[in-house]
């Protein structure tokens, strides 16, 4: 019923096992018990919700199905993962019923990323990860209960409530991603009650950014100009710089500074500027891998410069995680 999603020659998400059909104007989904939990399919793919996912493209280039499944099992000890999966699954098909178009990426892919990075952080030795576990359990249970009530009551506020739940999931995934990536570079990573995490005992704060935009289908897609003056055209560099210095981003940076962060991570993957940063890498002097950005940021923070705090702006396109970009900028300490 639904075509597979591809990138170049690779099938990223395969819907072929999803048994879905319309009865009396209602979309009916037949999903067995195994479909509610991730199952291994082959060395690069796992199955969940009637779909097969290539985890090296939808989760992380180094991910394996076993990593994600292990993370699901670990998370299930503090959060009922089937209960968390069902609202996202439901959301995907509410959107399909409204638009008639199946999303390129199922909404429950968010859970696969969360599970992967959760397990990576759980495996960090002597990190006091129980602080992060307690925080996540506390923050997820109430909104999950509200979403479940919306489903039971068939309430129109379901979309709003499940959207809030999704943002909590993505925000925690961002924190875990940056912590695990820092650990993989050899830095000491720990967790406590006060900060999102610490790198070499220096406090790090993480903000996940979102932007919502509409496309004017009546006009042609604007020409992309890399460098030079905008001259009325869409200018990539200007777009990204305007985003960096926008009030919303600066407010988030100021909050992170107020919270005591000596290193600040901004996950812009859910923003238009983040999309551009991935599709159109600009200059090598400001476009670098996350690993290089973390090294530079730790070096700046370690010098205890009172006038500068390193800020990493990161973006990763869901279906092509090989094009991750990190843009590191220093800001003045308040």
- Please check whether residue 9 lies inside any domain of the structure: no
Q: What is the pLDDT of residues 95-106, one digit of tens each?
A: 666 555 555 678
Whether 50 is in a domain gets the answer no
Q: Mark the ranges of the chain whose per-residue pLDDT is less than 50.
A: 213-222, 224, 226, 230-232, 282-286, 319-323
Residues 110 and 172 in one domain: yes
At residue 208, φ and ψ (nearest 5 deg) are -100, 125
Domain co-membership, 208 together with 173: no
Strand order in the sheet with 10-14: 5-7, 10-14, 51-54, 45-48, 39-40
Query: For the stretch 79-118, what's the b/e string if a residue is b when 16 or more beta carbons lie within 10 angstroms of its beta carbon?
Result: bebeebbbbbbbbbbbeeeeeeebbebbbbbbbbbbbbbb
Whether residue 67 sits in one domain with residue 185: yes
Domain that holds residue 295: 201-331
Residue 36 lies in a domain: no
Q: Same domain for 173 and 295?
A: no
Residue 163 and residue 133 in one domain: yes
Name the domain count of the chain. 2
Residue where one domain finishes, among candidates 165, 190, 215: 190
* 206 and 316 fall within a common domain: yes
pTM of the model: 0.83
pLDDT of res. 87: 87
Which pLDDT belongs to residue 300? 87
Residue pointed to by tokens 């695990």? 180
Q: What is the pLDDT of residue 221?
A: 45
128 in a structural domain: yes
């Amino acid at each position: 019923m639904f075509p597979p999603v591809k990138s170049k020659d690779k099938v990223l998400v395969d819907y072929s096992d999803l048994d879905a059909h319309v009865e009396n104007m209602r979309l009916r989904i037949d999903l067995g018990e195994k479909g509610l939990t991730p199952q291994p399919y082959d060395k690069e793919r796992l199955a969940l919700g009637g779909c097969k996912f290539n985890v090296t493209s939808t989760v992380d280039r180094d991910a394996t199905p076993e990593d994600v499944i292990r993370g699901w099992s670990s998370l299930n000890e503090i959060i009922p993962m089937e209960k968390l999966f069902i609202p996202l699954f439901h959301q995907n098909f509410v959107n399909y019923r409204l638009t008639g178009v199946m999303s390129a990426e199922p909404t429950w892919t968010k859970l696969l990323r969360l599970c992967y990075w959760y397990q990576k952080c759980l495996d960090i030795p002597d990190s006091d990860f129980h602080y992060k576990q307690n925080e996540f359990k506390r923050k997820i249970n109430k909104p999950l209960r509200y979403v479940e009530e919306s489903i039971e009551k068939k309430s129109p506020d379901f979309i709003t409530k499940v959207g809030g739940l999704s943002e909590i999931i993505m925000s925690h995934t961002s924190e875990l991603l940056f912590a695990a990536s820092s650990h993989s570079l050899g830095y000491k990573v720990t967790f406590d009650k006060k900060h999102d995490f610490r790198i070499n005992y220096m406090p790090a704060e993480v903000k996940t950014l979102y932007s919502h935009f509409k496309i004017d289908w009546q006009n042609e897609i604007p020409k992309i100009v890399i460098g030079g003056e905008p001259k009325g055209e869409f200018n990539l560099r200007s777009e990204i710089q305007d985003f960096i210095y926008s009030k919303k981003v600066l407010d988030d940076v100021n909050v992170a500074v107020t919270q005591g962060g000596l290193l600040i991570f901004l996950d812009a993957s859910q923003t238009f500027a983040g999309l551009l940063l991935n599709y159109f890498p600009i200059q090598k002097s400001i476009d670098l891998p996350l690993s290089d950005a973390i090294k530079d940021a730790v070096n700046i923070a370690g010098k205890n410069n009172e006038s500068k705090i390193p800020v990493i702006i990161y973006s990763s396109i869901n279906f092509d995680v090989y094009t991750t970009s990190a843009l590191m900028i220093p800001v003045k300490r308040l």
